[in-house]
Amino acid sequence: MVAEHGGAGPVGPTDSARTPRFAGPATFARLPRLDQVPGADIAVVGVPFDTGVSYRPGARFAPTAVREASRLLRPYHPGLDVSPFKACQVVDAGDIACTPYDIGAAIAEIELQASGLVDTGARLVAIGGDHTVALPLLRAVARRHGPVALLHFDAHLDTWDTYFGEPYTHGTPFRRAVEEGLLDTEALSHVGTRGPLYGSGDLAEDRRLGFGVVTAADVLRRGVDEVAHALRERVGDRPLYVSVDIDVLDPAHAPGTGTPEAGGLTSRELLEILRGLAGANLVGADVVEVAPAYDHADITSVAAAHVAYDLVSLLALNRMGRSR
């Protein structure tokens, strides 16, 4: 169901024929703010938090950079045959305010504010921030939908137990999510993993938690259509959360991230796999770990903006009851 908007239909982006794309406020895709409409079906929200990183910081600046990079997005998605901003009321919900000094306090603040948005009936596409933010976002989504299936696009597993004795970091959110019962352990997959690990036990522990793994090499060898089909089969009709760490992309496609690894997906491969999820029961998503300071050409922010746009479009298809 589309939210009620006073009978006038959804309010779309600023008209680029009247106001050039480089002018005006930089909301995501130049969409209206949440406070400018009566209600929202889909809300893009920033989570500028990066205190949980273990290597290069800077993802707190991602929401601003991704919004700037999204100015060139257009309202019709030919790959999915949908005009998401006409199908649903999509808004920019601003940024979730949280402390940069205390990880535990920030997680609680993010959970509270995300839950407030989810409780209105909106489905969220969050722009992080580091991957720590996935945990409070999953708490908010699971509170409404129950344990959710998870597709986790990332170079890394993010199921380690602690870093320097800390249980809440950007490398631990999905272990905590399994322990808290937020995830449906029959439908969990990592996609795009690669690179060295601390030991073979990392993979054994990951399997014990219920995760399947599609490595970056698997995507290369099997192809995007086969991978998307297999993921779709694993998820079925379960409520689905998609978490995209931008470092799933090769550094050639996403240099601006905190923990880059060689041998990753291309932006084209990532987008095509996401499009292969059309018809899935997507209930929320995030795009995280964009660190603009390490990318002076905005390549990473552009990629993240397109990933977020595809996730919004998939949510719009979901609302319309359509598959690809």
What residue numbers does the annotated binding site for Mn(2+) cover? Answer: 131, 154, 156, 158, 245, 247
Q: How many H-runs (helices) and E-runs (strands) does the chain carry?
A: 10, 8
What residue numbers does the annotated binding site cover? Answer: 131, 154, 156, 158, 245, 247
Distance of CA 75 to the CA centre of its chain: 20
Query: Cα separation of 137 and 246, whole Å?
Result: 17
Q: Are strands 90-95 and 123-128 parallel, antiparallel or unpaired?
A: unpaired
Cα-Cα-Cα-Cα dihedral of 301, 28, 50, 241, to 10°?
-100
Q: How far is the first Cα of the chain from the last one, in angstroms, to the nearest whole number?
A: 19
Question: Is the peptide bond prior to 7 cis by the omega test (within 30 degrees of 0)?
Answer: no
Residues 6+ away with beta carbon under 8 Å from 73: 29, 305, 306, 309
How many other C-beta atoms can be found within 10 angstroms of the C-beta atom of residue 7?
A: 5
Residue tagged 């079906």 (tokens): 41
Structure-block tokens of residue 223: 């192809």
Burial (CB count within 10 angstroms: exposed 0-12, middle 13-18, buried 19+), residue 83: middle
Identify residue 272 by its one-letter amino acid code: E
Query: Cα separation of 194 and 197, whole Å?
Result: 9
Query: Cα separation of 314 and 71, whole Å?
Result: 20
- As beta bridge partners, residue 189 has 151, 212
